Amino acid sequence: MFGETSAFSGFSVDDLDAARRFYGETLGLKVEERGEGEMRVLGLTLAGGAPVFVYPKEDHTPATFTILNFAVDDIDRAVDELTDRGVTMERYPGFEADAKGIVRNAGGGPEIAWFKDPAGNVLSVLHGDM
């Protein structure tokens, strides 16, 4: 039914200005601000052109699941760059992370490290494709 229909993902934040700085300056994504006043939102463009809609929500509750995964060729370099930019890697029970915060053996999955945006939403950087 929707195999030929364009789609996009979206998530909420509690501070649109902090999100704009984080996604644009810290992560280096293309960020476009749209609308005005209470109708102001952000459009993120991921590599390959995939759009993501970010909207403010007064009673925002951070996502407890990973909202965005960034696949990289060199996870050590990516984590080092994030850390240099002030991002802290998260550690979760049941996943043994190394000193950098990278889980090297996630039950047969890819090497992965989780971090949060300023609104507390969970993101990851992982080695390779999904």
| C-alpha distance from residue 4 to each of 9, 38, 102 (Å) | 16, 33, 37
Instruction: Please state the rounded mean pLDDT for residues 71-79.
Output: 96
Q: Give the pLDDT band (50/70/90) at residue 23.
A: very high
Phi, psi of 77 (to 5 degrees): -65, -40
Q: Which domain, by its residues, includes 79?
A: 66-127
Task: Examine residue 3 and state whether it is found in any structural domain, yes or no.
Answer: no
The pTM assigned to this predicted structure is 0.91
Task: Please tell me what DSSP assigns to residue 26.
Answer: I
Whichever domain contains 113, its CATH number is: 3.10.180.10
